[in-house]
Amino acid sequence: MAEIDIKVPPVGESITEVTIGNWFKNDGDFVKMDEVICGLDSDKATFELTAEAEGVLHIKAQEGDTLNIGDLIATIDSSANGSAPKEAAAAPAAAPAQETPAESAPVKEEEKAPAPAPAASGKAYEMKVPAVGESITEVTIASWSKKDGDHVEVDEILCELESDKATFELPAEAAGTLRIVGKEGDTLAIGALICTIEAGASSGAAAPAAAATSPAAGSDKGSVEKHASPVAAKILAEKGIDVKDVNGSGSGGRIMKDDALKAGSKPAEAPKAAPAKPAAAPVVAGARAQRREKMSSLRKTIARRLVAVKNETAMLTTFNEVDMKPVMDVRSKFKDKFKEKHEVGLGFMSFFVKAVTVALKDFPGVNASIDGDEIVYNDFADVSVAVSTPRGLVVPVIRNAETLSFAAVEKEIVRLAIRARDGKLGLDEMSGGTFTITNGGTFGSMLSTPIINAPQSAILGMHNIVERAVVVDGQIVIRPIMYVALSYDHRIIDGKDSVSFLVRVKQLLEDPMRLLLDM
């Protein structure tokens, strides 16, 4: 028996060990040359291990095991490579026999004719996690809309993927039988294998036949898949809500996750569910009930990134206060004419965006970021504005904010806020910002220390406006005061620059004419 040893390969001069993330093949499976058999994790990256020969795989180390470079991870019995081709040859031979009974439906056969064509090659098409944004390095599988072994067509939705910024669907890039590699809840790096599609399997003929003989059942299933995303369908099922009773905001009326979250429970279903579940426990006086909910993939990703920012940056926060009376006076004087001319309201955010873009020119370090051992300075201001949605906090970007007028900024803020609320923001609209503004004041926050939106180096926090007694020209007066906070990465921004930047923003807001005159 000719066995080939598969050992942990060298993956970097400073990497001495790796951990087996997951096996894509099972012990005893037949593998082909260069086929991906498992994923390996190091402290710096995740990479795939491919088969060095064709034959039967014998696994020597299990998922989660940590191995040194050069350790044995598996063997391949290359003497057993004769069994697989025979089985592969049998499949095409059997395919025509199964197609013969379907000759009574010539139209169906003509439509299906292109699908079996690639079967002769017997190749499996590998589906990998696509690149979805310049700052996104991994995604989580939220749910599969197809099952392992199902027949899929080109562009048919296979699963729903979540990143820390958005949820998107993965369509099939080939027709054939689906073989799932990544499970629901798995977090995969960009480029990692997520599934394979075996072209020309016989299950493809069985699926259309079943749909033709049972039109009623097929139409019910089709309506769910057509009008509700997998995540939305799962949420609606848990709530006991019929898909037909929910309006979708997606393309073609498709029900998205946000639609399912907003949907209320059906009154008729509540009495049925109450006796079957322990939900009736709170009725008892003094009851101390608890409930557990699985953390969503998006929430887990956000949590991981926020902790990483806290651990990887020298974050510090400086504070100041702004007298908002001048800005409020300008708004009161011109808001009606402004809306009449520009068809959009004049809000506080546009004043802050414009003030920030002016201050960023004076203090370019606040608008910079660290890339390895280099500092990247930006001559433009792409201002990210935090927006709260039912799914969580998203941060769309106002591009080239320094070139926009007050009206253009307000229109862009409204446009992005509506798209965020409807769950229609694209990844290109949420990536690439150079500075972030977040407004906790809309929820009543008086003071906070916002966390930097990596890879940016600073974030400005707005808060609520409260009338306070202050001294102006030696007199105690009542003024609308807002506390502002600037969190910054001390590795790139010195304390002097951070304080001066915030003072500059304060000066511009307390004298809005400076913004209009570019002073």
Q: Are 434 and 378 in contact (CB under 8 A)?
A: yes
Q: Are 86 and 11 in contact (CB under 8 A)?
A: no
Task: Based on the residue annotation, tell me whether 490 is a catalytic residue of this protein.
Answer: yes
Residue 23 and residue 37: Cα distance in Å, rounded? 6
The single residue of 490, 497, 511, 518 carrying the catalytic annotation is: 490
Residue 32's closest CA among 118, 120, 123, 117?
123
Task: Based on the residue annotation, tell me whether 422 is a catalytic residue of this protein.
Answer: no
Taken in order 13, 14, 17, 19, is the CA torsion positive or negative? negative
Report the half-sphere exposure of 340 (CA within 13 A, side-chain side).
4
- Is residue 80 packed enough to be buried (19+ CB in 10 Å), middle (13-18) or exposed (0-12)? middle
Helix then strand then coil, in percent of the chain rounded to 5, is 40, 25, 35
Backbone angles phi, psi at 266, to 5 degrees: -75, 130
Residue 516 and residue 508: Cα distance in Å, rounded? 10
Q: What is the secondary structure of 233-280 as a DSSP string? A: HHHHHHHT--GGGS---SGGG-B-HHHHHHPPPPTTTHHHHHHHSGGG
Residue 238 and residue 260: Cα distance in Å, rounded? 10
Enclosing H/E stretch for 459: strand 458-462
The single residue of 220, 245, 362, 494 carrying the catalytic annotation is: 494
Q: Write out the catalytic residue numbers.
A: 490, 494
